[in-house]
Amino acid sequence: MESSMWFVFVVILVMSSCVQGQLKAGFYSSLCPRAEAIVRSTVEAHSNKDPTILAGLLRLHFHDCFVQGCDGSVLITGSSAEMNAPPNLGLRGLM
């Protein structure tokens, strides 16, 4: 168990050095001051109904950010969208 936790820690550490995201706390404070509170309350409400959704959101973030940066492209719908790619078919937290 401890070795698998170390493996997960190392993988996250290595991946975090590759991420080029520019989003930070307060990013939307001038455009939408309540954005962070809205997201937090929505995630909390859904996680109270289904605690496993948190892991789904983490996987969604991974699939969006791992390939070409965190651009939200996995959220776009359409017949040839990234959302419909085989690795993304099982993603949760999209709706």
Is 82 annotated in a binding site? The answer is yes
Catalytic residue among 3, 18, 56, 63: 63
The Cα 91–Cα 41 span in angstroms is 21
Distances in Å between the Cα of 70 and the Cα atoms of 22, 63, 65, 74, 86 are: 9, 9, 4, 9, 19
Is 44 annotated in a binding site? The answer is no
Instruction: Tell me the one-letter amino acid at 53.
Output: I
Is 80 annotated in a binding site? The answer is no
Is 50 annotated in a binding site? The answer is no
Q: Using an 8 Å Cβ cutoff, are 83 and 77 in contact?
A: yes
Is 72 annotated in a binding site? The answer is no
Is 63 part of the annotated catalytic residue set? yes
Active site residues: 63
Which residues are annotated binding-site positions for Ca(2+)? 64, 67, 69, 71, 73, 82
Which residues are annotated binding-site positions? 64, 67, 69, 71, 73, 82
